[in-house]
Amino acid sequence: MVPITTLHYVIVAAGLFVLGVVGVLTRRNVVIVLMSIELILNAVNLNLVTFSRLWGLHGQVFAIFVITDAAAEAAVGLGILIAFFRNKETVNVDEVDLLKW
Amino acid sequence: MTPIATPFFFYLLSGLALLGGILVITRKNAVHSALALILTLLALAGLYLMLYAPFVAGVQIILYAGGIMVLFLFVIMLVSIERSQKEEQFNKQWIVGFIAAGVLGVLFVLVYVKGRALLPAPTAQIPNESQNTQNVGVLLYREYMFAFEIASLLLLVAIIGAVVMAKKRI
Amino acid sequence: MLDYITSYLKSNTTPGQAGNQFWAFVYIILIFLGLSVAVIAMNWLERKILAHMQVRLGPMRVGPHGLLQPIADAIKLLIKEDIMPAEADKVVFWTAPVMVVITAFTVFIVVPFGPTHAVTDMNIGVLFMLGVSSLGVLAIVMAGWASNSHYPLIGALRSSAQMVSYEIAMGLAVVAAILMTSLHGIGLYGVGSGTGTGTLSMIEIVKAQQEQHAWFIFKFFPLGLIAFFIFAVAMVAETNRAPFDLPEAESELTAGFHTEYSGFRWSLFFLAEYSAMIAVSAIAVTLWLGGWLRPFPNWLTGETWDLVFSLFPGVTFLLLAVIAFVGTMRMPKHPYFRVQTLGLGGFGAVLGLIGLVLLMPPVRDRIQDIYWFSFKVAAFMYLYIWYRGTFPRYRFDQLMKVGWKVLLPMGIGVLILTAVVGVLL
């Protein structure tokens, strides 16, 4: 069996990233778009941790920062979603077409 | 202690992660998507453990799977989703979106094919796993002190933002 | 093969660290069996103790003093019809009980019953326990949502809000305790000496308490005590027990998130609830109450006291045997009760035999750690029942207020003060 190298992990991360991009670009539901963004962030995290095995722990520290960022993003994003749902009774991104209420 | 059956666990966990990712973007029901995302997150935590990053794996489980995803599920249950399930799930630009993502994927493949020689060979020695938490902590509070403070400010702003957004009347 | 099995006994570490899969498997099986027995015993004890608190008798019919009641209950649950609501989300409805049991049992692989009595010792032990037990709420949310019914959904919503709020206070209290593993103070509070690096590993935390000659509940008085108090409140909320049992409040939501579950699936939720209680109590015992260390390690020192304390496990079982024998004596002398009398006498004999085995010197030394750990956890279990018997349930806004406006500021304050006191005082 082939030993697992850095390349394997990087390929998995790339796959997750592409899946996340597809989700962001094609789905209508805001919640799923936000989840796709989480997928993208996780792909980045996997890359960072993978490379931290080669070049010291800096990658892991960055992964922790990315997780913090994801938490902040999810909180604000979901807050916006709730405000939006309260006003327009919908969760579809392409119906967010009012710049001003 | 040397790890056992590394290839098996790698293929299992990465397979689960990718399967979860595919389910996230294809399910009609947002709750199913969220559960698939949890599967991906847990599989990734397993991959972090395999990469000798136990602290990040722990943070991933406690913050992502236990915190952020609970928030997601909470909001999904708060906004009714019955109606959005019957509607069109993909937006009008989905062809463009797929093409763009496909081009991105091809770009990645090309980078790997062409730049494979640039990737360094895996280091032979196993990193010091038993001191991982301590080492990460030292890095976090010495070298990345400033970034750490900025992150705390970011969280503060996020809290205020979430409250302002979600509150009916301030 | 035999060498592989025996070599571990000399290694003086946990099976996980020694890399010995056979003993790891044995430990897992033992913990699984022990937990199941503990849950069954808790089922009986909770009903009996609650009943006695309310001046009732509790279960009395099945076996002497209702001792066989949990077994009868288990048989009833297993042969009950397994109902799945027609409108339920089948896959999620099916997955939720499985997931809740997995998370409830997985946390126990890092619980240190003794310096070598744990399945493994992780570098991130506490983080792992908190993380995996916080996954339990996902299973509750899944169960509530998949039932596709109003009460379960409200229960799930309440549960997720409650868990997210109390997890923060809990985490802050835990961080304060972890800080204490590395901070020693210099003058006023100065205790012991150590390496100065903190640790998240469960075994190392207890060892730090041993080296510093102070359980963390007494360290930096009263900071350790306050942190312990925060954790003790938050852990009741985390396990959805009274007075914080809003997700399954039977007077408002019939049964909350598991209203639609019956039979075997329901029993899985029951099992998970009790093992989660044991798990969080194990965290509290490890972090603040000295884990497997025996009581009064500083005052009652010396050979004699060591001997006295090592006799406790055996004596406890002998006492239980005596209680059983007294019960046998007081059984009515009617032929109808003959089987019960014989059974109780036999139970007492088994307990006495276990007690005698535990008094033997080699067994005595090995079992002592496990005994003290279980003893402390059992004290917490009694507290849980006591709470349920005494406190009225909180209203939901009061619950949120306690979590966010009392426990969270207290947690932050304790954390900051611990750091300041540990370095400056």
Which candidate in B74, B132, B159 is best for mutational testing of the C interface (most C CBs within 10 A)? Answer: B74
Q: Determine the pLDDT at residue A57.
A: 81
Which residues on B lie below 8 Å from C92 (Cβ)? 31-32, 35
Question: What's the CATH number where A74 sits?
Answer: 1.10.287.3510
End-to-end C-alpha distance for chain C, whole angstroms: 55
| pLDDT confidence bin for B1, thresholds 50/70/90 | very low
Question: What kind and span of H or E run contains C420?
Answer: helix C408-424
Backbone dihedral angles phi then psi of residue A29, each to the nearest 5 degrees: -70, 125
Q: Determine the pLDDT at residue B40.
A: 92
What are chain C's partners, defined as 3 or more CB pairs within 8 angstroms? Answer: B
d(CA C13, CA B23): 42
Q: Determine the pLDDT at residue A44.
A: 92
Does C246 have pLDDT greater than 80? no
d(CA C150, CA C253): 9
Report helix, strand or coil for C344: helix
- Among partner residues B81, B92, B158, which is closest to A72 by beta-carbon distance? B158
At a CB cut-off of 8 Å and minimum separation 6, what does C237 contact? C162, C163, C165, C166, C244, C399, C403
Cβ(C331)–Cβ(C337) under 8 Å?
A: yes
On whether residue A72 sits in a domain, the answer given is yes
Which candidate in B8, B49, B56, B61 is best for mutational testing of the A interface (most A CBs within 10 A)? Answer: B56
Q: Tens digits of per-residue pLDDT, C344-393?
A: 888 888 888 888 888 887 777 778 888 888 888 989 889 888 888 888 88
On whether residue A101 sits in a domain, the answer given is no
Report helix, strand or coil for C386: helix
Among C270, A27, C181, which Cα is nearest to B30's? A27
Backbone dihedral angles phi then psi of residue B159, each to the nearest 5 degrees: -60, -50
Does B127 have pLDDT greater than 70? no
Which residues on A lie below 8 Å from B38 (Cβ)? none
Does B125 have pLDDT greater than 50? yes
Nearest chain B Cα distance for residue A25, angstroms: 5
Q: Tens digits of per-residue pLDDT, B5-49?
A: 678 888 888 899 999 999 988 888 888 888 899 999 999 998 888
Lowest mean pLDDT among A31-40, B123-132, C16-25: B123-132
Average pLDDT over residues C147-171: 84
User: For all residues of chain B together, what is the average pLDDT?
Assistant: 81
Which candidate in A7, A9, A36, A39 is best for mutational testing of the B interface (most B CBs within 10 A)? Answer: A39
Preceding omega of C152 cis (within 30 degrees of 0): no
CB atoms within 10 A of CB C328: 19
Q: Determine the pLDDT at residue C186.
A: 64
Q: Do B89 and A29 touch (CB under 8 A)?
A: yes
Cβ(B57)–Cβ(B49) under 8 Å?
A: yes
Average pLDDT over residues C412-423: 85
Among C229, C203, C224, C227, which Cα is nearest to C373's? C203
Q: Tens digits of per-residue pLDDT, C100-143?
A: 888 888 888 888 888 878 888 888 888 888 888 888 888 888 88
Cβ(C125)–Cβ(B54) under 8 Å?
A: no
Backbone dihedral angles phi then psi of residue A92, each to the nearest 5 degrees: -95, 135
Q: What was the ipTM of the complex prediction?
A: 0.87
Q: Determine the pLDDT at residue B95.
A: 83
On whether residue A11 sits in a domain, the answer given is yes
Residue-wise burial string across C249-286, b where 16 or more C-beta atoms lie within 10 A, e elsewhere = beeebbbbbbbbbeeebbbbbbbbbbbbbbbbbbbbbb
Q: Determine the pLDDT at residue C361.
A: 78
Does B155 have pLDDT greater than 50? yes
Structure tokens at C296: 């009064």
| DSSP letter for each residue of C34-61 | HHHHHHHHHHHHHHHHHHHHTT-----S
Does B118 have pLDDT greater than 60? yes
Amino acid at C17: Q
Q: Tens digits of per-residue pLDDT, C160-186?
A: 888 888 888 888 988 888 888 877 766
More confident residue, A101 or A39: A39
Q: Determine the pLDDT at residue C193.
A: 54
Q: Determine the pLDDT at residue B153.
A: 92
Structural domain containing residue A10: 6-88
d(CA A77, CA A54): 34
Amino acid at C190: G
Backbone dihedral angles phi then psi of residue A27, each to the nearest 5 degrees: -80, 155
Query: Which residue's entry shows tokens 């972890």?
Result: C178
Interface membership of B54 toward C (CB under 8 Å)? yes
d(CA C166, CA C69): 35
Q: Tens digits of per-residue pLDDT, C271-311?
A: 888 888 898 898 889 888 888 888 877 777 777 777 778 88
Nearest chain B Cα distance for residue A33, angstroms: 8
Q: Do A18 and B105 touch (CB under 8 A)?
A: yes
Q: Number of structural domains, chain A?
A: 1
Lowest mean pLDDT among B33-37, C13-17, C221-225: C13-17
CA dist C43 to C33, C128, C278, C381, Å? 15, 27, 13, 11
Nearest chain B Cα distance for residue A74, angstroms: 7
Average pLDDT over residues C403-425: 86
What are chain A's partners, defined as 3 or more CB pairs within 8 angstroms? Answer: B
The neighbouring-strand residues paired with A29 are A92
Q: Tens digits of per-residue pLDDT, C59-86?
A: 887 777 778 888 888 888 888 888 888 8
Does B124 have pLDDT greater than 60? no
Cβ(C248)–Cβ(C254) under 8 Å?
A: no
d(CA C73, CA A101): 59
Q: Determine the pLDDT at residue A42.
A: 92
Q: Determine the pLDDT at residue B134.
A: 80
Q: Determine the pLDDT at residue C192.
A: 53
Q: Determine the pLDDT at residue C91.
A: 84
Three state DSSP letters for C272-322? HHHHHHHHHHHHHHHHHCCCCCCCCCCCCCCHHHHHHHHCHHHHHHHHHHH
Average pLDDT over residues A61-71: 90
Q: Do B73 and C135 touch (CB under 8 A)?
A: no
Q: Determine the pLDDT at residue A25.
A: 86
Does C9 have pLDDT greater than 80? no
On whether residue A39 sits in a domain, the answer given is yes
Nearest chain B Cα distance for residue C165, angstroms: 10
